[in-house]
Amino acid sequence: MAKNLVTIDNYKVGTGQPLLFILGPCVMESESLVLSIADRLAEMRDRLNLQVVFKSSFDKANRTSVDSYRGPGLDDGLKMLELVRRKTGLPTTTDIHESGQAAPCAEVCSILQIPAFLARQTDLIVAAADAAVAKGICVNVKKPQFVAPEDTLHAVKKCNARGLHSVMLSERGSTFGYGRLVNDFRCVPIMQSFGVPVVYDATHSVQLPGGATTGGQRHMVPTLSRAAVAAGCDAVFMETHPTPDSAKSDGPNMIVLDELEKLICQLTALRETILSFE
User: For position 36, what pLDDT does the model report?
Assistant: 98
CATH 3.20.20.70 for domain 5-276 = yes
User: For position 130, what pLDDT does the model report?
Assistant: 98
Mean pLDDT over the full length of the chain: 95
User: Is the Cβ–Cβ distance between 273 and 262 less than 8 Å?
Assistant: no
Name residue 174's beta-bridge partners. 182
> In this structure, which amino acid lies at residue 49?
N
User: For position 216, what pLDDT does the model report?
Assistant: 86
User: Is the Cβ–Cβ distance between 192 and 153 less than 8 Å?
Assistant: no
> In this structure, which amino acid lies at residue 221?
V
User: Is the Cβ–Cβ distance between 149 and 116 less than 8 Å?
Assistant: no
Spell out the residues 6+ positions from residue 249 whose beta carbon is closer than 8 angstroms to its own: 26, 27, 57, 60, 63, 68, 69, 71
Q: Smallest Cα–Cα separation from 252: which of 211, 200, 196, 191?
A: 211
Q: What is the pTM of this model?
A: 0.96
Helices and strands (DSSP H and E) totals, the chain: 8, 15
Stretches where the chain sits below pLDDT 70 are 1-3, 63-65, 67, 212
Element holding 53 (H helix, E strand): strand 51-55
